[in-house]
Amino acid sequence: MSTKPKVQIYDTTLRDGAQGEGVTFSNAAKLKLALRLDAFGVDYIEGGYAGSNEKDMQFFSEIRRHKLRHARIAAFGSTRRANTTAAADPQLAHLLDAAAPVATIFGKTWRLHVRDVLHTTETENLAMIGDTVRHLKSHGKEVIFDAEHFFDGYKDSPEFALRMLAAAAQAGATTVVLCDTNGGSLPHEVFAITGAVRQALPSKIVLGIHTHNDADMAVANSLEAMRAGATHVQGTINGYGERTGNANLCSILPALALKMGIQAVPRANLAQLRDLSRFTDDLVGLRHDSHAPYVGDSAFSHKAGMHVNAVQKNPRTFEHVPPESVGNVRRILIAETSGASSILLKAIEMGVNLHKGDPEVRGLLDALKELEHKGYTFESADASFRMLIQKVLKRHKSFFELEGFRVIVEKQGTDPHSRSEAAIKVRVGKEVEHTVAEGDGPVNALDRALRKALKRFYPEIAKVALTDFNVRILDPEEATAAKTRVIIESSDGQATWGTVGVSDNIIEASWEALVDSVEYKLFRDEEQRTAGKNSG
C-alpha cells in the first residue's frame, strides 16, 4: 500500500478557466459543471470571483441548494485594500456574502508588485495579508492563500516572499499556494523553490501549487511541485485559462495516479476523464482538441504500419498507459503508410469480420493506396473508409441514385450577402424526388436539398447535421484548376463521423463527401436494426 499522501485537487475552471479567450459559461453551465466535478471527485471547486459580477454571485446562491457529495465550494477574492481595515473592505464583504465554506484570497509576494501595483510599503502588505486571513477565519471560513507571483517574488527576495507566506499561515490559513502567475518558471526552479518552502513552513500547513502555461510548462511544473512536497494542486479542465492557459487537470490527474502512484480522485473515476473533458468543451461551445494528451482522439491513434503491428501484439509497445484507464479508445488510422495489419485492425474495429490471410485485405490495401495517390485521405474520414470496405467486399448497397443536381450562387448589386440555391433530383427504387433548397453557401444548400429529397424515404436523415467543413487545395500550382479535397464532419446527435471527397471541382468533391455521409448514416442504422433483430 502506498504511503504517499492524498493530493487535494482544486478546480478553478469556473473562475480562472473562464478568463480564457473564447471561454464563457452560462449560469446553467456553471452549475452543471460544478455538479459534474463533484461527482468526479475533486476536492475544491472555485465558483468565481465574489462580487466581481452578478453571474458569479448567482452561482454561489444556486449551488447552496444542492447537496454536494465530495467537493467544497470556494469563493475567490483578494486581500484587503491598503490603509483600511478588513471589516471595512467592500470586496471582503462580497466574499462573505457568497456564503461559500472556503475563501481563497490572493496576495502579493513579489516586492515589485507591492511597490509598482499596490503603491504601498512591505510592512503594510504584510498587514493586509494577516488582517484579511484573520477576518475571514473569524467568520468561520476555511482560508486558502494564493501567493500571487510567488516564484518571481522568491527569485527576487526569498526572505520577503517567505515572510508573506508566514503571515498567512500564522493568521490561520490552512493552505498556502505557490503561484507561477506569469507562467515563466521552469521545472527545476519550481522543484527547488517548492522544496525550500516546504522546509520553511510548519508541517501542518498544506502546501499547494498553481501554475500557468505561458512557457508550456504548467503540467510539468505542477508535477515537480508535487515531487517537492506540495499536496494541493490547482488547475482547470482542458487547461482553460488566460493567455495560454492554466495547468491542465486532464493531464495532471492521470500522471499523478498512473505514473506517480499518488491518489487524487478515486481511481475508478479516472475512466470518466475523457467524458469530463468533452463535457466541459461542449458547455462552452469549443471544439475538442483532438491532439490533447490522454483525452484527445489522437492520443492513442496509430498510423505507421510497423507501429500498428507492434500494438496488435502488445499495446505497451507504443502506448504509455492503457487508453481505457482514462476513458479513451485506441484508434487505427488508415493512410498510404498502412500495412496489412493496419487494414485488418481497422476493419475489425469497424465490425468487419476479416482475417490476415484473406485476399480482401490486400484488395483494401491496394484500393486505399490508389485513392490516396489521387488525394484522398481517410485519417479523419472513417465513414468513407467504412463505405470503401463495403465496396471492395462487394457488399455496398446504394440507398439512392443521383439523377442530377444544379447549384446557383447569385449576388445582386451592393447586397453584402450572396444567395445560394441547390436543386437536386434523386431516385429511390422506382420513385424520383426533385427538391430545391437554399443555404448559407453552395455546399450548405446542396446538403439541405439532399436531405430534403431523402427524408420521405428515410426520415432518420432529418437528424443529421453537417458540423464541420474543411477544404484543402492539393496542387496549388494549378491555381483555380487545382484539385480540391473536402472533408465533412456530420453528426446525428449521438455519433459523429467524417467523410472525404476529391475533385478538381469543389462542389463535386463536396457532393462526394455528402453522399458518403448520408449513406453511412443509413448503412449504420440498418446494421443496428439487423443486429437488434438477430439478438432478439
Q: What is the mean pLDDT of residues 344-355?
A: 64
pLDDT digits 0-9 by tens, 10-31? 999 999 999 999 898 988 899 9
Q: Sign (positive/negative) of CA torsion 289, 291, 292, 298?
A: positive
pLDDT digits 0-9 by tens, 178-220? 999 999 999 999 999 999 999 999 999 999 999 999 999 999 9
Output DSSP code: residue 340.
H
pTM of the model: 0.71
Quote the radius of gyration of the chain (alpha carbons, Å). 29
Q: What is the pLDDT of residue 1?
A: 39
pLDDT digits 0-9 by tens, 276-287? 998 898 888 888
Query: Could you give the CA distance from residue 91 to residue 50 in angstroms, rounded to a whole number?
Result: 8
Q: What is the mean pLDDT of residues 381-398?
A: 81
36, pLDDT greater than 90: yes
Q: What is the pLDDT of residue 2?
A: 46
Measured CA to CA in angstroms, residue 420 lies from 351, 407, 441, 442 at distances of 39, 7, 5, 5
pLDDT digits 0-9 by tens, 82-127? 999 999 999 999 999 999 999 999 999 999 999 999 899 999 999 9
Q: What is the mean pLDDT of residues 390-398?
A: 80
Provide the 3-class DSSP secondary structure of residue 434.
strand
Query: Could you give the CA distance from residue 271 to residue 253 in angstroms, rounded to a whole number?
Result: 11
Query: Could you give the CA distance from residue 473 to residue 427 in angstroms, rounded to a whole number?
Result: 32
266, pLDDT greater than 70: yes
Provide the 3-class DSSP secondary structure of residue 495.
coil
- Lowest-confidence range among 286-295, 353-362, 417-426? 353-362
Query: Could you give the CA distance from residue 296 to residue 187 in angstroms, rounded to a whole number?
Result: 25
Query: Could you give the CA distance from residue 302 to residue 313 in angstroms, rounded to a whole number?
Result: 13
The mean predicted confidence, pLDDT, of the chain is 87
340, pLDDT greater than 60: no
pLDDT digits 0-9 by tens, 458-509? 999 888 888 888 888 776 665 555 688 899 888 888 888 889 999 988 899 9
528 against 204, higher pLDDT: 204
Query: Could you give the CA distance from residue 459 to residue 142 in angstroms, rounded to a whole number?
Result: 57
Asked if residue 384 lies in contact with residue 498, where contact means CB atoms within 8 angstroms, the answer is: yes
435, pLDDT greater than 90: yes
Instruction: Report the 10 Å Cβ neighbour count for 282.
Output: 13
Query: Could you give the CA distance from residue 468 to residue 489 in angstroms, rounded to a whole number?
Result: 5
Output DSSP code: residue 256.
I
Q: What is the pLDDT of residue 345?
A: 62
Measured CA to CA in angstroms, residue 207 lies from 106, 127, 231 at distances of 15, 21, 6
Query: Could you give the CA distance from residue 130 to residue 79 in angstroms, rounded to a whole number?
Result: 9
Residue type at 197 in one-letter notation? V
Q: 52 Cβ partners below 8 Å, 6+ apart?
A: none
Q: Closest Cα to residue 469, out of 453, 484, 452?
A: 484
Three cell numbers, residue 374 = 489521387
- Lowest-confidence range among 57-61, 305-309, 418-422? 305-309
> How many helices and strands (H and E) does the chain possess?
17, 16
Output DSSP code: residue 6.
P
Measured CA to CA in angstroms, residue 227 lies from 77, 196, 208, 220, 223 at distances of 29, 12, 12, 11, 6
Instruction: Tell me the domains of the chain and their CATH numbers.
Output: 8-284 (3.20.20.70), 301-373 (no CATH), 400-457 (3.30.160.740), 460-536 (3.30.160.340)
Three cell numbers, residue 414 = 451592393
Output DSSP code: residue 514.
H
341, pLDDT greater than 60: no
Quickly state the pLDDT bin for 239 (edges 50, 70, 90): very high
Q: Give CA angle at 500 (495, 504), nearest 5°.
A: 155
Q: What is the pLDDT of residue 370?
A: 79
Query: Could you give the CA distance from residue 150 to residue 153 in angstroms, rounded to a whole number?
Result: 5
pLDDT over 70 percentage in the chain: 89
The answer for 431, left when phi > 0, alpha when psi is -120 to 50, beta otherwise, is beta
242, pLDDT greater than 60: yes
Q: Closest Cα to residue 132, out of 83, 94, 77, 80?
A: 80
Bridge partners of residue 209, in order along the sequence: 178, 233
